[in-house]
């Protein structure tokens, strides 16, 4: 274990990815079981995500899925990474998180994002368009008001008077928004590590103390894969990289398929370029290699927490990777705690 890692929290974001020939219901049950294992292995948080009309992602209703994960666990923090606020009325979001916090007090996180539907058709079905994201500041202000004192005589019971920690998922200028609202920042290396570090520095420099945050808090999100060899870890990255290339050339996220089939594909030049770009920037390798990469990331960013999101076709290998990460970072003190479900 390296010197910087014991000072950092480690958490998990699971997008309920669907593997080929797997049902959406099975993927959702896997997510709930994963939350139970994450708690057993010592992770700080377990978050779920929001995607709509995506064949390869079952997680479309994050607050509902968060409730199921909270019910299956006892103490790990449960939240969303995140609820996409432009898709919802702030009152409804406040009420949903108020219910969650009332049922599972002290364990709920409200991760919020600014993205809208992936395609025009999805945005129409949600009753929104890209312009709604431009009203994000007003939506966020309204949402937070429901937890404080209501809004124009409207009260978001049972949220009012509760303090559910709010996190802002952001890239680029979104870091400035998190600073202005005094919220913890969740950020990934979209556009490269240098741009991420610049955004984090702006966030810390511009942070405003509010009722929602007394000091900056940075959560760096990224994929981490541990295997017996570097080559094995690299192969585990292939299914998600191909899914990304497929979606960007066809407009639809597919289910995950095995690495061997991806290696045999005759990709177009554009698919190959996106595929290879999608393989860059991931922390992966043996335990020693991953420790060195994590040390670099934490030192470079000053992260308070690492939010791990890792997708691959082999569910058992993914679970084993997360178990190894827990052991590497000191969350899991002994292999004696290993669950049979992780094998």
All structural domains of the chain: 5-225+285-332 (3.20.20.30)
Beta bridge mates, 11 = 307
pLDDT reported for residue 124: 80
Angle ∠(187,193,198) on CA atoms, nearest 5: 70
CA 113 vs CA 57, 81, 259: distances in Å = 17, 7, 31
Tokens of 319: 């679970």
Tokens of 286: 């043996």
pLDDT reported for residue 336: 40
pLDDT reported for residue 117: 64
Using the structure block, give the residue that is written with the tokens 């420099």.
205
Alpha helices in 60-135 (DSSP H): 62-71, 90-103, 120-126
The two counts, helices (H) then strands (E), for the chain are 12, 11
Taking only the tens of pLDDT, the chain with its 343 residues reads: 445 777 899 999 999 999 999 999 999 999 999 999 999 999 999 999 998 878 899 999 999 999 999 999 999 999 999 999 999 999 999 999 999 999 999 999 999 999 876 667 777 888 766 655 568 999 999 999 999 998 989 999 999 999 999 999 997 679 999 999 999 999 998 888 999 999 999 999 999 999 999 999 999 999 999 999 999 999 999 999 999 999 999 988 899 999 999 999 999 999 999 999 999 999 999 999 999 999 999 999 999 999 999 999 999 999 999 999 999 998 876 444 434 333 2
């Amino acid at each position: 274990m390296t010197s910087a890692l014991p000072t950092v929290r480690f958490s998990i974001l699971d997008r309920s990815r669907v593997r080929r020939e797997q049902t959406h219901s099975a993927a959702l049950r896997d997510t709930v079981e994963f939350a139970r294992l994450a708690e057993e292995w010592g992770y700080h948080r377990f978050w779920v995500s929001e995607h709509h009309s995506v064949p390869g992602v079952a997680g479309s209703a994050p607050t509902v899925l968060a409730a199921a994960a909270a019910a299956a666990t006892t103490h790990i923090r449960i939240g969303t990474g995140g609820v996409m606020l432009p898709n919802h009325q702030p009152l409804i979001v406040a009420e949903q998180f108020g219910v969650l916090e009332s049922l599972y007090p002290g364990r709920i996180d409200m991760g919020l994002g600014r993205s809208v539907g992936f395609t025009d058709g999805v945005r129409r079905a949600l009753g929104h368009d890209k312009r709604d994201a431009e009203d994000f500041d007003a939506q966020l202000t309204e949402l937070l008001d429901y937890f404080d004192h209501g809004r124009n005589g409207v009260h978001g019971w049972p949220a009012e008077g509760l303090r559910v920690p709010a996190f802002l998922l952001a890239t680029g200028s979104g870091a400035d928004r998190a600073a202005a609202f005094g919220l913890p920042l969740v950020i990934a290396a979209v556009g490269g590590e240098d741009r991420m570090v610049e955004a984090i520095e702006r966030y810390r420099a511009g942070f405003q103390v509010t009722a929602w945050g007394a000091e900056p808090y940075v959560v760096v999100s990224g994929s981490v894969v541990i295997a017996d060899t570097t080559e094995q870890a690299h192969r585990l990255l292939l299914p998600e990289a191909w899914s990304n290339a497929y979606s960007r050339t066809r407009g639809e996220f597919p289910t995950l398929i095995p690495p061997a089939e991806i290696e045999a594909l005759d990709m177009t030049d554009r698919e190959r370029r996106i595929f290879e770009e999608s393989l860059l920037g991931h922390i992966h390798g043996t335990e020693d290699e991953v420790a060195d990469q994590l040390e670099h990331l934490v030192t470079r960013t000053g992260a308070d927490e690492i939010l791990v999101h890792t997708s691959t076709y082999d569910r058992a290998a993914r679970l084993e990777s997360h178990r190894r990460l827990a052991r590497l970072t000191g969350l899991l003190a002994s292999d004696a705690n290993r669950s049979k479900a992780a094998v």
